[in-house]
């Protein structure tokens, strides 16, 4: 298979290097119907194509921007391996922000200083961690919004500061968002723990 020419992207000294948002868009444009993510749920494989992934990433990014997430902000991400984790990671980048991926093996006591130090105002979490984060929230001055990867779990929480990820993704429905430019020099992730 020959090397494909990338068009429509910023000219760079190092040809072929794309930012994360550019790579998602390029993959959708080139191989839109190909499967990007596959997960076993409810007794069957569910697949997300590259086009669907790109659309979901853009929708989440627009929703995050409607919540006040701006370029250079830090947004935390905590969860096990699942498509929503990847969509969250990529959506944070698309909004121009940097990801603070948190190790899912850390205890709430270990997470607290990382959340305080990073001064995140938004965190995206899986249902497994929602109660721990809500318990910590009161002791973290900067943390304003908790986004749960499962809207049903988010709806079950008695808090005005817990939103479902799909609900956030729908916040900008009908609008044409203007996404910030992300450069190769922008901070992609602030990683506190090694793998």
pLDDT in tens, the chain (195 residues): 444 555 555 555 556 789 999 999 999 999 999 999 999 999 999 999 999 999 999 999 999 999 999 999 999 999 999 999 999 999 999 999 999 999 999 999 999 999 999 999 999 999 999 999 999 999 999 999 999 999 999 999 877 779 999 999 999 888 899 999 999 999 999 999 875
The span from the CA of 99 to the CA of 117, in Å, is 14
CA-based nearest residue to 144, from 133, 156, 154, 155? 133
Model confidence, pTM? 0.91
CA-based nearest residue to 55, from 18, 15, 85, 27? 27
Q: What is the pLDDT, as a whole number, of residue 2?
A: 44
Q: Under DSSP, is residue 81 helix (H, G, I), strand (E, B) or coil?
A: coil
Phi, psi for residue 182 in degrees, rounded to 5: -110, 130
The span from the CA of 106 to the CA of 158, in Å, is 25
Name the CATH code of domain 51-170 (choices 3.65.10.10, 3.40.640.10, 1.10.150.20, 3.40.50.980): 3.40.50.980
Q: What is the pLDDT, as a whole number, of residue 183?
A: 93
Q: What is the pLDDT, as a whole number, of residue 193?
A: 83
Residue ranges covered by each domain of the chain = 51-170
Q: Where are the alpha helices (DSSP H) in the chain?
A: 20-31, 50-66, 83-94, 108-118, 127-137, 151-156, 165-170
């Amino acid at each position: 298979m020959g090397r494909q020419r990338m068009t429509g992207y910023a000219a760079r000294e190092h040809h072929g290097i794309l930012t994360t948002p550019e790579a998602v868009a390029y993959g959708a444009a080139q191989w839109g119907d190909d499967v990007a993510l596959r997960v076993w749920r409810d007794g069957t494989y569910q697949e997300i194509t590259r086009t669907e992934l790109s659309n979901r990433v853009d929708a989440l990014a627009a929703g995050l921007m409607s919540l006040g997430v701006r370029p250079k902000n830090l947004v935390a991400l905590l969860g096990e391996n699942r498509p929503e984790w990847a969509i969250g990671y990529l959506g944070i980048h698309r909004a121009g922000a940097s990801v603070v991926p948190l190790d899912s093996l850390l205890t709430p006591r270990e997470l607290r200083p990382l959340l305080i130090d990073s001064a995140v105002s938004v965190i995206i979490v899986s249902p497994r961690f929602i109660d721990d984060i809500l318990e910590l929230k009161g002791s973290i001055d900067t943390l304003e919004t908790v986004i749960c990867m499962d809207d049903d779990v988010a709806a079950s929480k008695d808090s005005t500061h817990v939103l479902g990820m799909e609900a956030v993704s729908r916040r900008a429905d009908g609008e044409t968002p203007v996404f910030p430019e992300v450069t190769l020099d922008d901070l992609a992730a602030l990683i506190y723990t090694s793998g």
